[in-house]
Amino acid sequence: MKLAALACLLVAFPLVGGEFYVNLASQIFIFAIFAASINLLLGYGGLATLGHASYLGVAAYTSALLGLKLGLGHWIAAPAALLGTTLMACLFGLIALRATGLGFLMLTLALSQVLWGTAYRWVALTDGDNGLRGLSRPFHLDDAASFYYFALAATAASLWLMARFVGSPFGAALRGTRDQPRRMSALGHNVWLIRWVSFVYAGFWGAVSGLLFVYYHKYIHPISLSLTNSAEGLLAVIAGGSGTLGGPVVGAAIVMLLKNYVSAYIERWNTLLGLVFVLIVVFMPEGVVPGVKRLWLRFASRT
C-alpha cells in the first residue's frame, strides 16, 4: 500500500515538478543505485569500501569511449561496459579480498586511486582533465521528463533486484559472514567465496549506476573516479543507515540535495562535506533511517 502510494507519487512527479527538480530527482535515483550497491558490501557484508567509484567511473568511461572512439551504438556499448566493469570487479575482488577490515579498505582505495590517476594522466585516451564530451543518450531521451522515467524504471528494477539478493538465502549467508565469519566457516560455508560473489555483484550495480550517470550528464570527467565520489557514496549509505534497504536511498537524497542546494550558496562545498562527515559519525552513527525508526517506535509505544 505504502509502496503503491510512493510509486504513484514518483510517476506523477514530472507532471507537477519543474525541469530543475525533475533533473535533480534523476540524479538522486542514479546516486541511490550507487549508494545501494555500496550498501551491499558495507551494510550486509561488513566490508567498508572506499573505491566504489571505480565501477561507476570505469563503466561510464568504457561506454563513452566505445561510442566515441569506435563509433559503436548503445546496444553494444552498454552491455560491453557492464561486462567489462564486472570482469574488473572479479579481478579487483581477488586482490582486495586478500584482506578484510582496514586492509580491504586500503586496497580498494589504492586500486581506485590507480584508476583515477590513469584517467587523469592518460590524456591520449581519456583527454585527462578536459573529460570526454559530445556523448549521447540512448533512445533519444533528451528531455528531462523522459529521462526521469527511464532512470526511475532502472532504479526501481535495480533496487528490487538488490533487495531480492539481500533477502535470499545467499544474502542471509552474507550477513552471517559479516557477524560471525569463523562460525560460518565452521558451518561449512566458503566465507571468501560469499564475499567475492557479493563484491562482484556490487561492482555490477556500481557499473549500472555509472551507465546512467554518463547518460544523464553526457559528459565524463576523472573526478567521477575520485576518492571524493567513493566517499560521497559511503557518506550517503552511513547517513541513511547502512544495512537497511531504504537507508541508502534516503542518504543519496540527502547528499544530492545538500550538494545541489548548498553548493549554490556556499563556495566551500568540500569543507561542508568534511563537516557533514564528522558530524554524522560523531552524532548519528547509526544513520537517519534507523534513528527515525527508533524514535517512531518509542513514539508508537507511548500511545
Partner 1 sequence: MRIANLTHGALFMLGAYLGVSILKLMPNLWVAALLGGLAVAAFGGLLERFILRKLAGNILGQVLVTLGFAYIIADLCLVVWGGDPIPIPTPEFLQQPLRVAGFAFPAYRVAVVVLSVLVGMALHLLMERTRLGAMIRAGVDDMQMARAVGIPVSKLFTLVFCLGAGLAGAGGVIGGPIMSAYPGLDADMLPLALIVVILGGVGSLAGAFAGSFITGFVYTFGVALFPQLAYVILFLPMIFVIAFRPRGLFGKFAA
- Give residues in contact with partner 1 (CB under 8 A): 42, 48, 50, 95, 98-99, 101-103, 105-107, 109-111, 113-115, 117-118, 121-124, 226-228, 231, 234-235, 238, 268, 270-271, 273-278, 280-282, 285
* Rounded (10°) angle between helices 2-16 and 144-167: 160
Decide whether 168 or 180 has the Cβ nearer to partner 1: 180
Min CB(242)–partner 1 separation in Å: 9
Which residue, 76 or 87, has its beta carbon nearer to partner 1?
87
Strand partners for 132: 220
Q: How far is the CB of 271 from partner 1 (least distance, A)?
A: 4
Instruction: Give the nearer residue to partner 1 in terms of CB position, either 113 or 260.
Output: 113
C-alpha grid cell, residue 107:
586496497
User: Smaller CB distance to partner 1: residue 14 or 247?
Assistant: 247
Q: For residue 214, which of 132, 146, 119 has the smallest C-alpha distance? A: 132
Cβ of residue 38: shortest distance to partner 1, in angstroms? Answer: 12
In the complex, what is the shortest distance from the CB of residue 247 to partner 1, in angstroms, rounded to a whole number?
14
Tell me how far, at minimum, the Cβ of 92 lies from partner 1, in Å.
10
The DSSP annotation for 198-242 comes to HHHHHHHHHHHHHHHHHHHHS-B-GGGGSHHHHHHHHHHHHHH-T
Residue 159: name the closest of 218, 229, 225, 247 by CA: 247
Give least dist CB 237 to partner 1, A. Answer: 10
Span between the terminal Cα atoms of the chain, in Å: 23
Supply the minimum distance, in Å, between the C-beta of residue 48 and partner 1: 5
Torsion of the alpha carbons at 248, 249, 253 and 256, rounded to the nearest 10: 60
**Residue pair 135/64 in contact by the 8 Å Cβ criterion:** yes
- Spatial distance between the Cα atoms of 232 and 137, rounded to a whole number of angstroms: 25
Closer by beta carbon to partner 1, 219 or else 277: 277
Alpha-carbon separation of residue 84 from 56, 109, 187, 204 (angstroms): 12, 20, 34, 10
Rank residues 42 and 65 by Cβ distance to partner 1 and give the closer one. 42
How many Å apart are CA 58 and CA 282, to the nearest integer?
33
| Smaller CB separation from partner 1, 103 or 167 | 103
Report DSSP state, residue 137.
-
